[in-house]
Amino acid sequence: MFGDLDDLYQDIILDYSRNPRNFRKIESPPARVVEGHNPLCGDELTLYLLMDGDVVRDVAFEGAGCAISKASASAMTTAVKGKTRSEALKVLENFHDMVTSGNAEVFEDDKLAAFSGVHKFPARVKCAMLGWRALESSLSSTDDESGAGVSVEKKTITTE
Ligand code: ZN
What pLDDT is attached to residue 1? Answer: 43
Give the Å distance between the CA of 104 and the centre of ligand 1. 21
Sequence ranges of the domains in the chain? 2-158
What pLDDT is attached to residue 152? Answer: 43
Residues 153 and 50: beta-carbon distance below 8 Å: no
Residues 6+ apart with CB under 8 A from 70: 16, 17, 20, 43, 45, 63
Give the Å distance between the CA of 47 and the centre of ligand 1. 16
Give the Å distance between the CA of 118 and the centre of ligand 1. 11
Q: Which residues, by Cβ under 5 Å, contact ligand 1, an ion?
A: 41, 43, 66, 69, 127
Evaluate if pTM is beyond 0.85: yes
Give the Å distance between the CA of 65 and the centre of ligand 1. 6
Give the Å distance between the CA of 126 and the centre of ligand 1. 7
Give the Å distance between the CA of 45 and the centre of ligand 1. 11
Residues 72 and 93: beta-carbon distance below 8 Å: no
Residues 46 and 63: beta-carbon distance below 8 Å: yes
Give per-residue pLDDT as tens, 57-90.
Answer: 999 999 999 999 999 999 999 999 999 999 999 9
What pLDDT is attached to residue 117? Answer: 92
Q: Indicate the CATH number of 2-158 among 3.40.190.150, 3.90.1010.10, 3.40.640.10, 3.30.70.20.
A: 3.90.1010.10
Give the Å distance between the CA of 27 and the centre of ligand 1. 26
